[in-house]
Chains A and B, each alone.
Chain A
Amino acid sequence: MSAGRLPARRGFSRQRMTAVLVKEFIQLTRDRLTYAMILAVPLVQMMLFGYAINSDPRHLPTALLVQENSVFARSVVSAIANSSYFEIEHEVRSPEELDRLIRTGQVQFAITIPGDFTRRVVRGDGAQILVEADATDPTAVGSAVAALASLPSEALRHDLTGAAAASARSAPPFELVVHRRYNPENVTAYNIVPGLLGVVLTLTLVMMTAIGVTREQERGTMESLLATPVQPLEVMIGKLAPFVIVGLLQTAIILLVARLLFGVPMAGGWAGLAIGTSLFIIGSLALGFLISTLTRTQLQAMQLSVFYLLPSILLSGFMFPFRGMPEWAQWLGTVIPVTHFLRIVRGALLKGQDLAEMAPSLLALAVFVCVVSALALARYRTTLD
């Protein structure tokens, strides 16, 4: 053998490196889904999250209970409305109604102007306005509460005359009492830890089932399985049932750690939590199964799962206040099952909601389970066509 015909360079060979490089590029473009993901992931995610996420939410839904019809009360209300942080959506007549609105999460704030407000302001006798905040999500509440700081000294400036105006210059004519309900110490962990339950369940369950089924296709065991008389529903239930146990186990671990290490309150709502968790686990598994019917390889299944996971973290209200997002993003968030699951978990643990109060979210999860399961079964092929 002459060395001239077979040059085997010992050092770094650019041609050998190029051979690997070119091969990688070719393979990258052969897998169309991967190719699409490379382009779609940054674009979609940037558009979605660049515009949707807002950690300084404004126009938060607010309920108002005014127990006296007076000039002062109207001035305070308009000052609150002008701050742009509060959107007065409900004017209620009883403290019970106010309480119900904040408990069910329909409003973020409940403001009460008591019946003796004007009298106490005029007399300089410790007038108060009560602002109750749903502090399950501290971020959502923080800046709105901060914006209220100047309210007592500013709101009545034009209404006060004489002696009252003079004393108002030295001290504000009334006091603002802020109640951070469900999370009085503003602990972020109370909000994040229950939310993690939804994210962890999504991450593991969707991905595990999606990969579990595509693995059978990749390894060729699916062909043998299809050659038997086994029915789609039998395969689906058999494949998913073990993961239900995995999901329940994870739920137990997270709740235990949340209680023991983070001291997350457990106000009750166990029935709703149990139903909601079961629905969410089943729905996530069915979604994984659906993903597996749309993909051919484990890598593709993984990519689609991640594609689903990102909005579940960012648009569901897990990391950023749901109400801080623009309307279209809130609409998108409503389609994501994690959003509803988070409401159930936080509602149960922090607020102790009963079944009726959780009904809308439970119903949403039930719809999700039915739709995804039906799609997965319809997509599942009993042939190789």
Chain B
Amino acid sequence: MTVAIRVEGLNKSFGGRRVVKDFAIEVERGRITGFLGPNGSGKTTTLRMLCGLLTPDSGSGEALGYDIIAESAEIKRRTGYMTQRFSLYEDLTIEENLQFSARIRDLDRVRQRVEAALDQLGLTERRRQLAGTLSGGWKQRLALATATLHEPELLLLDEPTAGVDPQARRTFWDEIHRLAADGLTVLVSTHYMDEAERCHDIAYIAYGELLARGTAEEVIRSAGLVTWRGEGPGVDRLSPELLGDPAIELAAPFGLALHVSGRDASALETALEPYRRPPFRWTRTEPGLEDVFIHLMGRVEDNFR
């Protein structure tokens, strides 16, 4: 395996608050890695440190074989970065935005590249439309096109599909998988579980620390959760009651059903015993990523109290 990113001991503080703590990660080339975690967990800061937009307070590492501190200019040259906010020029047209992106990166064959990108996007007809007038989904696709115009080896996406409808998100992700198939390494931060499941690998970050790492299955398995699914009228209102029992680490409503999880299978069964009565029905189920993440987050919060 070839490594695209290998960093260790990354730290970053803003105004005395440590946003990223001793962060270490290794990412394989050609993989799509999802960064997940609650708001303010340091995902954006980590991505920015990897592409040279922020200088870490301490720590070291390599991205694409270049030192992230000393050779950040080389990394910038080979990296595409899509910011959280739409950061194209709203008062330029689609075509002008693409041209600007191509020229600011000193690319050759600007015209051909722009034509190809327009064609790929299916925006050739609308090339003279102002970027600000595009819908959310199109804006993101255009932003992705400008971020990959220079055929980067590494693509960093910071919540690329926030506020975008499911259809547009699907198109967007198809595009990302197509790029990864060509050998591009992708790091994407997201809050959507369905997107997390589209990633090859997951890194779960909370409060600046990396809490879980691996494929979705590995992350679920390593959490060691046992989950029961409860159904029946009123079952979703049981959670405050259930959480009073130390064996129950998690009780989260999923629509009309309730997922109850804990790490000790027998203690969990004992705790659920009083509720095994009509109208409730309980079935053993596999925990989902969301169960695992809520569980992980709960544990970190405990450590913080």
Contacts and interface: CB of A to CB of B under 8 A. Distances in A.
Contact of B105 (A219, A220, A228, A384): A228
B54 A224 contact: no
- Which label, helix, strand, loop or mixed, suits the secondary structure of the A interface? loop
Contact of B81 (A224, A230, A383): A224
Interface string B70-94: 0001001101010101111110000
A383 B79 contact: no
Nearest to B106: A229
Nearest to B158: A223
A384 B72 CA distance: 13
B52 interface: yes
A225 interface: yes
A227 B88 contact: no
B129 interface: no
A221 interface: yes
B11 to A, nearest CB: 14
Contacts of B54: 383-385
A154 B85 CA distance: 80
Contacts of A224: 81, 83, 87-88
A241 B83 CA distance: 28
B73 A221 contact: no
A230 B53 CA distance: 12
Interface residues of A, number: 14
A171 interface: no
A350 to B, nearest CB: 43
B191 interface: no
A383 B104 contact: no
B87 A223 contact: yes
Contacts of A225: 104
Contacts of A228: 76, 104-105
Contacts of B87: 219-221, 223-224
A220 B81 CA distance: 13
A93 B118 CA distance: 79
A237 to B, nearest CB: 13
Interface string A53-75: 00000000000000000000000
Contacts of B53: 223, 226-227, 383-384
Contacts of A219: 85, 87, 90
Interface string B222-262: 00000000000000000000000000000000000000000
B162 to A, nearest CB: 13
Contacts of B90: 219
A219 B79 CA distance: 22
Contact of A385 (B55, B73, B77, B104): B55
Nearest to A221: B87
Interface in A189-245: 219-221, 223-230
Contacts of B89: 221
Contact of B86 (A220, A226, A229, A230): A220
Nearest to B45: A384
A127 B88 CA distance: 79
Contacts of A230: 104
Nearest to B83: A223
B142 interface: no
A326 to B, nearest CB: 44
B48 interface: yes
B85 A229 contact: no
Nearest to B74: A229
Interface of B: 48, 51-55, 73, 76-77, 79, 81, 83, 85-90, 104-106
13 contacts: A219-B90, A221-B88, A223-B83, A224-B88, A227-B51, A227-B52, A227-B53, A228-B76, A229-B105, A383-B53, A383-B54, A384-B54, A385-B54
Closest 7 CB pairs of A and B: A227-B81, A220-B85, A224-B87, A220-B87, A229-B76, A223-B83, A229-B77
